[in-house]
Amino acid sequence: MILESPRVVISIDLDYFFAQCEEIRRPELKSKPLVVCVFSGRTQTSGAVSTANYVARKLGVKSGMPILSAKRVLAQHKEAEFLPIDHDYYERVSERVMQLIKSHSPIFEQVSIDEAFIDVTDSTKTDFEVGKSIGLKIKEEILDAEKLTCSVGIGPNKLIAKMAADHKKPDGLVVIKPEEVSAFLSPMPIGKLIGVGPKSESKFEKMGIKTIGDLSDFDVNSLSDQFGKNLGPSFKRLAQGLDTDPVRPRPIEQLSRIITLKKDAESLWFGDELKPLSIYLSDKLKSLNAKCRVVGIIAITSELKTKNKARTLDHLTNSSDEILHNCLELFQGFFDSSGIEVFRIRRVGIRVSGIDLEKAEGKNESENQSTLTRFLLF
The CATH number given to whatever domain includes residue 36 is 3.40.1170.60
Model pLDDT, residue 2: 46
Beta strands in the chain, from DSSP E residues, in sequence order: 9-14, 34-39, 47-52, 81-84, 108-112, 115-119, 150-155, 173-175, 254-265, 290-301, 306-317, 345-353, 356-357
Question: How many C-beta neighbours within 10 Å does residue 322 have?
Answer: 16
Both ends of the chain: CA-CA distance in Å? 41
Q: How far apart are CA 138 and CA 366, in angstroms?
A: 28
Q: List the catalytic residue out of 115, 329, 365, 367.
A: 115
Counting other chains too, the contacts that 332-341 makes at CB distance below 8 Å and 24 or more residues apart are 332/268, 333/309, 334/297, 334/299, 334/307, 334/309, 335/266, 335/267, 335/268
pTM of the model: 0.76
Question: pLDDT category, 72, cuts 50, 70, 90?
Answer: very high
Asked if residues 368 and 285 have their Cβ atoms less than 8 Å apart, the reply is no
Average pLDDT over residues 156-176: 97
Q: How far apart are CA 326 and CA 369, in angstroms?
A: 27
| Claim to verify: residue 67 and residue 207 sit in the same structural domain | no
Average pLDDT over residues 51-64: 96
Choose the final residue of a domain: 182, 205, 229: 182
CB proximity list for 99: less than 8 A, separation 6 or greater? none
Residue 328, domain member (yes or no): yes
pLDDT, tens only, 173-223: 999 999 999 999 999 999 999 999 999 999 999 999 999 999 999 999 999
Give the CATH number for residue 122.
3.30.70.270
Q: How far apart are CA 7 and CA 309, in angstroms?
A: 45
| Claim to verify: residue 130 and residue 82 sit in the same structural domain | no
Question: pLDDT category, 357, cuts 50, 70, 90?
Answer: confident
Model pLDDT, residue 210: 97
Query: Residue 3: is its pLDDT beyond 80?
Result: no
CB proximity list for 312: less than 8 A, separation 6 or greater? 293, 294, 354
Give the CATH number for residue 352.
3.30.1490.100
Residue 376, domain member (yes or no): no
DSSP for residue 189: B
Query: How much is the mean pLDDT over the chain?
Result: 89
Element (H, E) at 124: helix 121-124
CA dihedral 53, 144, 158, 160 (to 10 degrees): -70
Question: pLDDT category, 4, cuts 50, 70, 90?
Answer: low
Residue 74, domain member (yes or no): yes
Give the residue, 212 or 346, on which the prediction is more confident. 212
**CA angle at 219 for the pair 192 and 209, rounded to the nearest 5°:** 35
| Claim to verify: residue 95 and residue 219 sit in the same structural domain | no
pLDDT, tens only, 100-152: 999 999 999 999 999 999 999 999 999 999 999 999 999 999 999 999 999 99
Question: pLDDT category, 228, cuts 50, 70, 90?
Answer: very high
115 catalytically annotated: yes
DSSP for residue 180: G
Structural domain of 116: 9-17+88-182
Query: Residue 160: is its pLDDT beyond 50?
Result: yes
| Claim to verify: residue 119 and residue 232 sit in the same structural domain | no
Residue 4, domain member (yes or no): no
Strand partners, 257: 350
Query: Residue 360: is its pLDDT beyond 80?
Result: no
| Claim to verify: residue 199 and residue 168 sit in the same structural domain | no
Strand partners, 118: 10, 108
Residue 377, domain member (yes or no): no
Choose the final residue of a domain: 86, 116, 131: 86
| Claim to verify: residue 196 and residue 122 sit in the same structural domain | no
Total domains present in the chain? 4
| Claim to verify: residue 152 and residue 13 sit in the same structural domain | yes
Query: Residue 259: is its pLDDT beyond 50?
Result: yes
| Claim to verify: residue 261 and residue 359 sit in the same structural domain | yes
Residue 374, domain member (yes or no): no
Residue 245, domain member (yes or no): no
3-state secondary structure of 84: strand
Pairing of strands 81-84, 47-52: unpaired
| Claim to verify: residue 76 and residue 112 sit in the same structural domain | no
Residue 126, domain member (yes or no): yes
